[in-house]
Structure 1
Amino acid sequence: MEKLLIKNGTIIDVENGGSFIGAMEVEGNKIKRIMKQDEVLPEGIETIDAKGKYIIPGLIDMHCHINERFAPHFVASGVTTVRNAAGNVNLLQNLIDKPDHAPTPRVYASDRMIDGTPGQWGPTSYGNFVTDDPEEARKEVRRQVEVGAKFIKLYGWIKRDVMEAAVDEAKKYNLEVACDLMNSKELTILDAAELGVNWIEHISGFAQEMYKGWNPLVDQEEWSHIDWDNPDQEKIKGICEKILGYNVKLCPTMVVFDQSMKYPDIWSPKNHVLESTLNINYLMQYWKDNAEYVESIKSRTAIINNLTKAIAKTYYDMGGTVVAGTDTPALMFTYPGMALHRELEIFVEIGFTEIEALQAATVNAAKSIHLDDIGTLQEGKIADLVILNKNPLENIKHTQDIDLIVKGGKVYNQEEILSSIPSEEEVNKSMQAFIEEWEEASVN
């Protein structure tokens, strides 16, 4: 079993908020021992001298939609685990089955979203299941359990009785339920909470609860009296108190709205990962196509940008669970992996401390989905960690200044990870094979 010693680095204890200079012995894919500076260190094994550097756990993106083409970009950005919030478990199986040390993130995935008619993403397909029948929803939940979904994802046009049935069925298998109510015309965040939904993605459905009758698809001129830039704090507190009573967890994905509202002056730092992302043709084309409709995106969807930020801070201050996610690659230039660093910046901009922002993408994220073997730098945990050149507790932007990444005990630099990116041709071939298998299986 391979061994590794990382010495002289400042180890950041994200659980307790402190740090100390010490060493870390890794054996195989696990952290075997953590030593203080004055302890005797093992000899004769591969050693990294991290003097003057800072060590944090691998980051966790709690809401994205991963693809094999840009999976390595996450790890190159220090994001070693992702929560895939709707897609297809079978399509992601190649990534899910990768060994711990692979230069792609471990994937905690839901299967296809369950939506109401006519389906926001079209009729039933490998990526979504459309129904207004509660029994059909129960059957779909059971199918998703069989293929290995880690949680169930519901979508905004789902009917109330269908949501109730899906949640009830999921609970039989101890699966949590997440919901995206962004375009909901009937249900609000409080409806979902009352029905037992565990996760609200994008803090969606909150605006529908605050402003009954509003949703992104109605004539926005009729709602021009809403001061979206200065949200009603009393209303926010009142709703937060109610959903807190149901122990709802929030993944605000503020970056997806922030990038859209800022366009064309988007957050786009210069680094190796972004340079590589710009070479993914279909991704760039997708964002450029969305740019043609950016005014509609701003006025209908991203308009909740400041509201979402206010809710995230209020709910956290009240003791609620708020974790970091990105919705990559949705809407406008939500760069795989790197977008999470912008999300952490936004956490700090709205009043979180640096350590609280880090916790939202490490220990709190891991605990929120009951992953006990990641999220902190502790003996016995999986050796996912990022070695930074500067202290992120002084400035959260320093999470972007990456020296090395250790994934499942294996050491990488960013260039090594980015050299493993499959071609678009390879990914297209894999995708075509999956679609053919799906159609042959005749899964409805």
Structure 2
Amino acid sequence: AKRLREEHKNGTYIWVDIYTSGSLIDGKPSYWGSAEVGTPEDARDKVNCQIEQGVDFVKPYSELKKDVYLALMDEARQKGVTAAGHVPISVTLDEAVVAGHRIDDHMYGMESLFYTREHADEMRHLFESGKYYEFQTLRIKYRDSILALQNLEKLNDKDIWFCPTYVTSKGTLRIFKKEMISDARNEYVPLVLKYHGMNNSIKDSWAEDNFLNTSRLDSIQFEMDKAEVLKREEQIKMLIKSGAKVIAGTDYIIPYIYPGFSLQEEMQTFARLGMTPLQALQTATINPAQAMKNDKVGEIKVGKRANVLLLNANPLEDIKNAQDIYAVILRGKHLNRAYLDGMLDKAKQLAKAKHIHEWFAPRFESDGIEATLKIFLENKETIDEEYPVRWNMLQSAARMFLRDEKKEEAFALVELMHDLYPDFVYAFAFTGDIFAKGGDKERARATYEKALEIYPCFNVVERWIKDLDEPVAFGQKYNSNEPEILGASIPCMHHNH
């Protein structure tokens, strides 16, 4: 991210403005593998570490304890850094807003608005006492939509923005799976997205989506999914009716999130649920500019940066017309329809690429490791046209070799990846375990230490170093210590159950 921003600044990379939090900050242990904090002092240290690394904001996550979260928010506020991310399960939305939480991802915390403080305390006591049936009974009994709307309206004068990410429903709810598997947009989805590397997987994370493949019967799961869809839509309708500040987002990297397409779909959802087309357009233009306090973009005026979408039809008549694009002007560069079609054709071509394991496997077998690596480095650009050369694809291939008990081949690909991506923390942090599982703890330790050298705020790696003598699976089971009622139902926390 730092390298891309520098290239963007000097004009060699013009395409994207990058605002980054660095790694998310979660409770201890963290769920995804991230920065993790267990005490208020840890939280303050992590905020300052990230500020030193040049973050634009900090990203709190779901499992933070209340006192730890409040310390994190206090330190960020004192240092002039904003917070955008998950409202933790341990706090109410009101408490998060008072603490300075500025962008609420996925509407987490909104559920707390449906209950009085007395009712919430009563339910928390039942939950913590293990009386789950009584807890669920009161949760249904006390849920008050009128109260929630009133509570939302009270937040109108607060600096809180909501990013619903409704489109994640398609990738996290099984009821949509058949529809999404046959979606025409899949022809644009490359392997490098499906093997994104964050879960250290050797499998296609879309075809074998852990969000969708639960053991429940469809008849049961579909009813649960319908209830979840209705809840999400009710919350969005409340945001619209209350006049809350909303920005469009997609939670990209979740299966069945299509870059570009899904943002359009999110705006269409807002219009379907009650926004005017103008309001829906604003969630992806002026609203995020204001949320990020960037006065150079978001509207067409003299003195603003010239990022303009030219359309063939009026989106104020039908929000779907925002997809009928005639041309794009990006920082003064004119991209006509032919150029845009070429980009789409290139995306389709890339989506047909093969897994790089298929290139290495037969050559390792016939030519040996050293000769194969020499051939690869001499022909990397050509190979990339058919077999994507990316850190996550090399990592995935290494894991496939390790699975097949070919550890020397696995180790060779990890070292190759390190040489190609020497400044990328994930290339090191998420590959130390390959050495460990292959029986080389010292190389694992050196890999983890390099990750901390690149990005010292990614302190979960410190735990992985300690765990080398007693390995803990990366996909550790998620165990929440907080009642869900005061925070969110967390679709993106169901991974690896």
TM-score (norm 2): 0.60
Answer yes or no: is 1:292 the counterpart of 2:206. Answer: no
Distance 1:177 1:299, change over 3 A: farther
Alignment of 1:170-319 (within 5 A): 170-181=76-87, 184=89, 186-210=90-114, 212=120, 223=136, 232-244=144-156, 246-258=158-170, 260=173, 261-266=175-180, 270=184, 275-278=187-190, 280=192, 281-282=194-195, 285-290=204-209, 291-293=212-214, 304-319=228-243
Answer yes or no: is 1:341 the counterpart of 2:251. Answer: no
Q: Which structure shows the higher helix fraction?
A: 2
Deviation for aligned residue 1:202: 0.7
Deviation for aligned residue 1:268: 7.3
What does the per-residue CA deviation read over 1:310-354, in whole Å, with 9 as the maximum and x for residues that have no partner?
A: 333323433321111111122x40112211011011001101111
Whether the aligned pair in 2 keeps the contact of 1:384 and 1:406 (CA below 8 Å) is yes
Correspondence for 1:424 among 388, 403, 406: 388
Answer yes or no: is 1:153 the counterpart of 2:83. Answer: no
CA distance in 2, matches of 1:288, 1:226: 35
CA distance in 2, matches of 1:222, 1:103: 52
Q: Which structure shows the higher strand fraction?
A: 1
CA distance in 2, matches of 1:270, 1:387: 24
Alignment of 1:160-171 (within 5 A): 160-171=66-77
Larger Rg: 2
Distance 1:179 1:300, change over 3 A: farther
Q: Please tell me the residue identity of whatever aligns with 1:147.
A: Q
Partner of 1:115: 26
Whether the aligned pair in 1 keeps the contact of 2:248 and 2:283 (CA below 8 Å) is yes
CA distance in 2, matches of 1:220, 1:303: 18
CA distance in 1, matches of 2:190, 2:5: 22
CA distance in 2, matches of 1:267, 1:375: 34
Runs of 4+ in 1 over 6 A off after TM superposition: 218-222, 224-228, 294-302, 420-423
Correspondence for 2:424 among 422, 429, 434: 434
Answer yes or no: is 1:410 the counterpart of 2:330. Answer: no
**Share of identical aligned residues, percent?**
26
Correspondence for 1:320 among 244, 250, 253: 244
Whether the aligned pair in 2 keeps the contact of 1:385 and 1:406 (CA below 8 Å) is yes
Whether the aligned pair in 1 keeps the contact of 2:153 and 2:244 (CA below 8 Å) is no
Distance 1:434 1:252, change over 3 A: same
CA distance in 2, matches of 1:134, 1:240: 29
Whether the aligned pair in 1 keeps the contact of 2:170 and 2:256 (CA below 8 Å) is no
SS at match of 1:288: coil
SS at match of 1:120: coil
Q: Please tell me the residue identity of whatever aligns with 2:148.
A: I
Distance 1:362 1:245, change over 3 A: closer
Q: Please tell me the residue identity of whatever aligns with 1:115.
A: D
Aligned length: 340
What RMSD over aligned residues (CA atoms) do the two structures have, in Å?
A: 3.6
Q: Please tell me the residue identity of whatever aligns with 2:204.
A: Q
Answer yes or no: is 1:363 the counterpart of 2:267. Answer: no
Whether the aligned pair in 2 keeps the contact of 1:101 and 1:407 (CA below 8 Å) is no
Larger displacement relative to structure 2 (355-364 or 394-403): 394-403
Larger displacement relative to structure 2 (206-215 or 363-372): 206-215
SS at match of 2:310: strand
Distance 1:270 1:377, change over 3 A: farther
Alignment of 1:20-35 (within 5 A): none
Whether the aligned pair in 1 keeps the contact of 2:4 and 2:13 (CA below 8 Å) is no
Alignment of 1:21-60 (within 5 A): none
Larger displacement relative to structure 2 (164-173 or 101-110): 101-110
Whether the aligned pair in 1 keeps the contact of 2:73 and 2:99 (CA below 8 Å) is yes
Distance 1:379 1:415, change over 3 A: same
What does the per-residue CA deviation read over 1:396-427, in whole Å, with 9 as the maximum and x for residues that have no partner?
A: 11222223222221123224445497873144
SS at match of 2:100: coil
SS at match of 1:328: coil
Partner of 2:7: 97
CA distance in 2, matches of 1:302, 1:173: 43
Gaps of 5+ in 1: 1-88, 123-127
Deviation for aligned residue 1:130: 1.1
Partner of 1:394: 317
